[in-house]
Amino acid sequence: MALLATRLTALYSALASSFGVILIWTLYTGGNPVLLEIYKPWLRAAVAELEINCFTFALWTVYKESSYVYSGIWIFFMFWTGSLGTCSYILVQFLKLSPEESAEDPIYHVLLRHERKNYEEQKAAGKRCRLVVAATRIAYPILGCLLIATVVYAAMTDGSPFRKEVLLAP
């Protein structure tokens, strides 16, 4: 299992680096306006998918972190950088693992929050966790249906994103 943690850390390091390069390149070039116009319905679907992912990771971050301020900073970073922010957050969670947690089950320990030593702090965190879990159980099916509807709408109004004029665009 420690090998799994090492491999996942390397994977998320590579992903975060790749997304960082893509983000810098996109900001530098300003994107391609011709492709943006051709992809308009699919661009809306991509933005909807990004926002759903941001909301999903925001709920997980609020659940995982002990401080609302720290959660807010990560959520802000994830919202404005997209996949770079989410991969960076997951990478930080893997880097926080102790050797025992890495050897035992790294994915389990990354997903769940750490237990508190102080009883009062644990009691307050438990209430917040229950709220986040309840919100997640309600929000995820709704967001999944919204995402499916967005993709179906884009496909019905614009057709396939893999068509001749897109592939031959300057």
Q: What share of the chain has pLDDT > 70, as a percent?
A: 78
Residue found under tokens 């011709």: 34
Is 97 part of any domain? yes
Is 32 part of any domain? no
Is 68 part of any domain? yes
Cα separation, 108 vs 100, whole angstroms: 12
Is 113 part of any domain? yes
Could you tell me the residue range of the domain that residue 84 belongs to? 2-22+38-167
Arithmetic mean of pLDDT over the chain: 78
Look at the chain and report how many structural domains it folds into: 1
Render pLDDT for 115-154 as a digit per residue (tens, 0 to 9).
Answer: 655 555 556 666 667 777 787 788 888 888 888 888 888 8
Is 16 part of any domain? yes
pLDDT at 34: 55
Is 28 part of any domain? no
Cα separation, 56 vs 122, whole angstroms: 24
Is 12 part of any domain? yes
Above 60 in pLDDT, residue 166? no
pLDDT at 39: 62
Whether the pTM exceeds 0.75: the reply is no
Cβ pair 89, 57 in contact under 8 A: yes
Cα separation, 13 vs 10, whole angstroms: 5
Is 31 part of any domain? no
Render pLDDT for 42-56 as a digit per residue (tens, 0 to 9).
Answer: 777 877 787 888 888
Cβ pair 62, 71 in contact under 8 A: yes
pLDDT at 81: 84
